[in-house]
Structure 1
Amino acid sequence: MNRRLWLSVGAFIALLVCALSVYLYFKAIPYPAEIDHGPSPEAQANPYLAAEHFLRKQSLTVSHANSLDILPTLEPHQRSLLLLGDRSNMSPRQVDQVLNWTRAGGRLLFVAEALWDEKTGQSNDLLLDRVQLHQSLSKDLKEPPPDPVDDPYPKLTKLYLENEEAPAYVGFDTAFHLDDPKNLAQAWANSGKATHMMQLTHGLGSITVVTDADLWKTPAIDQYDNAWLLWYLTADTAVTLLFNTDHDSLLTLLWRYFPQALVALIALIVFGFWHVGVRNGPLLEPATKARRQLQEHLRASADFMLRHNGQHSLLQALQQDILRRVRHRHPGFEQLGVAEQWLVLARLTGQPTRAISQAMSPRPKQRLPSAEFSRQVAHLQTLRNAL
């Protein structure tokens, strides 16, 4: 009976699952869905990737470089060089190379990177100073007179072209302003208050200076006429974009975002090496519990006195001991002259007076060589033992 009950329950569950599956099959409606995984690694590594694709669609040849080392390989004729990366390390020699390349017929576009300093008469941008243009902050400019024609887009930069009724609108950063104190520019583009692009001829080529290039990066290039302006400035040329796409190393990123963990790891590694490291010498054996001999104590006492009192005190102590002994054997010794004392010592010890004179004469306090000190001690001990 039990077995039949379990079989019935199993059959009922199987039937219920089949019925539910059929119901879901007829009721479920498939539909397409797009999952946005964000920008590709290539787009993340290259902020101007969309600009490169756009220019290629306009039938232009586009290449990318990380440094000015490629400049000697670029033919200036019908070539545009866009310096879009950091130029803070640009040397005067490189500035000369770029301007000579432009003078030979190349089109140069670069971003102004530093503000003009009135006190020093220069900026930190060597290339900008060489083309004699100045960059300042728009907020430092005087307010322009009121425009009789109402500007509907005062924060957009307008570029007017010949034979065109309406200007092109581009999205430069309006925080910066370009100034042309020598009136060298042949074309420019302004927002409601400041100038953000200037063009001037240079030999057979041309130079375009802009306040920023963010309008040609991936998030902004499809806004306003930003993409059109890039094509307009590079039309009918091969384009080389120069900017550095090198990224921070893993160690740099770890130090930036996890400094505490990195310090703890380094400390753990140092402690591990210290723990397993080889010692500088063999381990000292434990001192024996047996009593030391009298000779060892005497040697230790002598070493202690030599270190703390010096050689002079030891030699003087021996000399005083010799004089004490000779006074005991020869009454009235201290009343004799020095020469007579040495004669008495020679008679009592059997040593020549010259040797006694050398041993008993006062010693200078400067340190003696080890051999000389040992010789003096041995000589004095011989005299003392003979008394």
Structure 2
Amino acid sequence: MSRWRTPALVVLALACLGLLAGWWHRTYERVTETKVLPPAGEAAYNPLYALKLALRADGLEVESRQRLDFARALPGRRDTVLLLGDPRTLTARDIDGLLAWVEAGGHLLVTTPRGQRVDAMRPGDLLARLEVSLRPGRGECEELLVPGQERHVEFCGGTRFAPQSNPVLSWGDFNAGFVFVRLARGDGVVDVLASADFIDNRNLRETPHLALARQLLAPNYGHGRMHLVYAADMPPLWRLLLDRAWMAWLPLLLALLAWLWMRLQRVGPAMPPPPQERRSLLEHIQASGEHLRRHGLTALLHAAMRENFLARLRRRDPLAAALGGVAQAEAIAARTGLPAPEIEHALRSPRPRDAGDFRLRVARLVEMRKRL
């Protein structure tokens, strides 16, 4: 019977596995889930990264960098330069180079600055050289209509402006301010925009924004290289550490707090200052006498006081010191003026454990010593 037990268990286990596999195959459902991941790499700090990929997919040569540098990359005669950022940060040398390149046939797109004090332009700034004056404050949004698409509004948060010369193309009016103008300069053109939010990575995916970007890049589209110059939108280091490195710094922070807690001095009631060493002989004698009194050895203290009195009596009255008993008490009474019974009582040892009797006898001995 036992030889059939092992095969039966094996068959039972195989049957259970088969049932489990069949249940899994019958109830399992494969589901596809799409999650949008945060941008990484260049897409995390370059707001024109999507435009760069779109232009390259259309067969154009595109260069993307954080700052304008004519020494490293000089634009060609039919190239296009898109400046995304505050044009007031350009140096006078870069402005001269840009305007000379535009007059030779280049296409420049520049945006107006945002934020506080937008009207604080210096005479040598790029917009001042283009004869464009800024309008402080925010105007109304401009409606953008593209056939087959939903209604859009653009330039809601941009800084409007007004050109001093007649533009080739414009969007807006002199009362509310313009959001776009195309100015002719030599053989080239300059486009001034109130905002370029519609071409950043988040908004370029919408069809109306693609159509608007294609129209803005039309003057030299397909004739030269595209230079996309952006101000790096890199988040600060503390934000990166807070968002992406918390699994490293959080345990380290907890360990640091635990170490500080271990090293921290405990807070409690104020401790008394440590006793200072004393070298006073009188204090030591007093402490010794208190010790003998607490232990019931007052007879030793009385004997020492009586011996001190008798030593002084021998110096002052040797005859009285040589006597004893009642005769000595009477002789001392005659010299000190104190009653003889009290003197006799003071010279005898005190009763054990009687603090009052001890103090009385010692006080009488002190008074007797003073009257000798």
TM-score normalised by the shorter chain: which range applies? Answer: 0.5 to 0.7
Deviation at 1:171, TM superposition (A): 4.8
Does residue 110 in structure 1 map to residue 97 in structure 2? Answer: no
Distance 1:4 1:101 in 2: 96
Distance 2:45 2:138 in 1: 34
Does residue 51 in structure 1 map to residue 57 in structure 2? Answer: no
* One-letter amino acid matched to 1:48: L
Aligned 1:137-176 pairs, distance under 5 A? 137=136, 139=138, 155-157=142-144, 171-176=153-158
Aligned 1:19-38 pairs, distance under 5 A? 19-25=19-25, 27-28=26-27, 31=30, 33-36=32-35, 38=37
Match of 1:383?
Answer: none
Deviation at 1:94, TM superposition (A): 1.9
Distance 1:68 1:38 in 2: 31
C-alpha spacing 1:130/1:169, structure 2 compared with 1 (3 Å): farther
Decide whether the 8 Å contact of 2:87 with 2:125 is kept in 1.
no
Q: Partner of 1:207: helix, strand, or coil?
A: strand
Match of 2:202?
Answer: 219
Of stretches 99-108 and 238-247 in structure 1, the one that deviates more from structure 2 is 238-247
Instruction: Name which of 152, 155, 180 aligns with 1:197.
Output: 180
Deviation at 1:108, TM superposition (A): 0.4
Aligned 1:179-258 pairs, distance under 5 A? 179-190=161-172, 195-234=178-217, 235-236=221-222, 237-245=224-232, 247=234, 250=237, 253-254=240-241
* One-letter amino acid matched to 2:225: A
Q: Could you tell me the percent identity over the aligned residues?
A: 20
Distance 2:100 2:64 in 1: 21
Q: Write out per-residue CA displacement over residues 335-356 of structure 1, whole angstroms, 9 at most, x where no aligned residue.
A: xxxxxxxxxxxxxxxxxxxxxx
Decide whether the 8 Å contact of 1:172 with 1:196 is kept in 2.
no
Q: Partner of 2:227: helix, strand, or coil?
A: strand
Match of 2:80?
Answer: 80
Deviation at 1:238, TM superposition (A): 1.9
Distance 2:189 2:34 in 1: 46
- Structure 2's unaligned 5+ residue stretches are 257-372
Decide whether the 8 Å contact of 2:92 with 2:125 is kept in 1.
yes
Match of 2:125?
Answer: 126
Distance 2:132 2:149 in 1: 24
Distance 2:145 2:168 in 1: 16
Match of 1:136?
Answer: 135
Deviation at 1:75, TM superposition (A): 3.8
Does residue 178 in structure 1 map to residue 163 in structure 2? Answer: no
Aligned 1:1-40 pairs, distance under 5 A? 8=8, 11-25=11-25, 27-28=26-27, 31=30, 33-36=32-35, 38-40=37-39
Number of matched pairs: 247
Deviation at 1:63, TM superposition (A): 1.2
- Structure 1's unaligned 5+ residue stretches are 142-153, 160-164, 269-387
* One-letter amino acid matched to 1:134: S
Deviation at 1:156, TM superposition (A): 2.3
TM-score (normalised: structure 2): 0.53
C-alpha spacing 1:243/1:221, structure 2 compared with 1 (3 Å): same
Decide whether the 8 Å contact of 2:70 with 2:94 is kept in 1.
no
Decide whether the 8 Å contact of 1:84 with 1:242 is kept in 2.
yes
C-alpha spacing 1:252/1:66, structure 2 compared with 1 (3 Å): same
Distance 1:109 1:133 in 2: 14
Match of 1:325?
Answer: none
Deviation at 1:100, TM superposition (A): 1.6
Based on CA coordinates, which of the two structures has the bigger radius of gyration?
A: 2
Aligned 1:314-325 pairs, distance under 5 A? none
* One-letter amino acid matched to 2:126: L
Distance 1:39 1:77 in 2: 38
Q: Cα RMSD (Å) of the superposition?
A: 4.5
Does residue 64 in structure 1 map to residue 71 in structure 2? Answer: no
Distance 1:228 1:49 in 2: 17
Deviation at 1:58, TM superposition (A): 2.8
Distance 1:5 1:189 in 2: 92
Distance 2:127 2:177 in 1: 18
Distance 1:181 1:81 in 2: 21
Decide whether the 8 Å contact of 1:138 with 1:193 is kept in 2.
no
* One-letter amino acid matched to 2:59: S
Distance 1:44 1:117 in 2: 29
